[in-house]
Amino acid sequence: MIGEPILVMLVEDNEDHAELVIRTLEEHRIANRVRHFLDGQSALDYLFHRGEFIDAASAPPPHVILLDLRLPRVDGIDVLRAIKEDDELKSIPVVILTTSEAEKDVAKAYYNHANSYLVKPVGFEEFKKLMDDLGFYWLGWNTHPHLKE
């Protein structure tokens, strides 16, 4: 990944949380680009090149996906399941980033092959620190297979 542009897909319906994630990643120059989606359906359309994203050249695969669980149109677990069942997409790391600490949600996410499960802290500083650490780990230190672009 050295020298190659890093694309993060953020699937988050809370605009405030999305803004904080995007700003934190940009501040530390961790991601070259963040594609933000407000619902699960538009994220799936992007990943599977449907609708406005039919041109694969304009919708390259992300290097990591930050996925909320509670989403409009298509739930986060259904998005995760679709990604991990697809041979072309399943190697993309998917980090669940949610407010839910419910054991059933954690279990369901890992059962569907989430790569990580993070609970969003309530406080601003704690949330910012989590984003800093997440960015450095998944986009700086972690090694994963190169994706065709």
Give percent of the chain with pLDDT exceeding 70.
83
Q: Can you give the pLDDT at residue 69?
A: 95
Which three-class secondary structure state does DSSP give residue 95?
strand
Q: What is the edge-to-edge ordering of all strands in the sheet holding 116-119?
A: 33-37, 7-11, 64-67, 94-98, 116-119
In CATH, what number does 7-141 get?
A: 3.40.50.2300
Q: Are 49 and 73 in contact (CB under 8 A)?
A: no
d(CA 40, CA 143) in angstroms, rounded, equals 26
Q: Is the pLDDT of residue 1 over 50?
A: no
Q: Is the pLDDT of residue 45 over 60?
A: yes
Q: Can you give the pLDDT at residue 17?
A: 85
Using one digit for the tens of pLDDT, what is the confidence trace for 99-115?
A: 888 999 999 999 999 99
Q: Is the pLDDT of residue 147 over 50?
A: no
The model carries a pTM of 0.85
Q: Are 129 and 55 in contact (CB under 8 A)?
A: no
Q: Is the pLDDT of residue 29 over 70?
A: no
Residue ranges of domains in the chain: 7-141
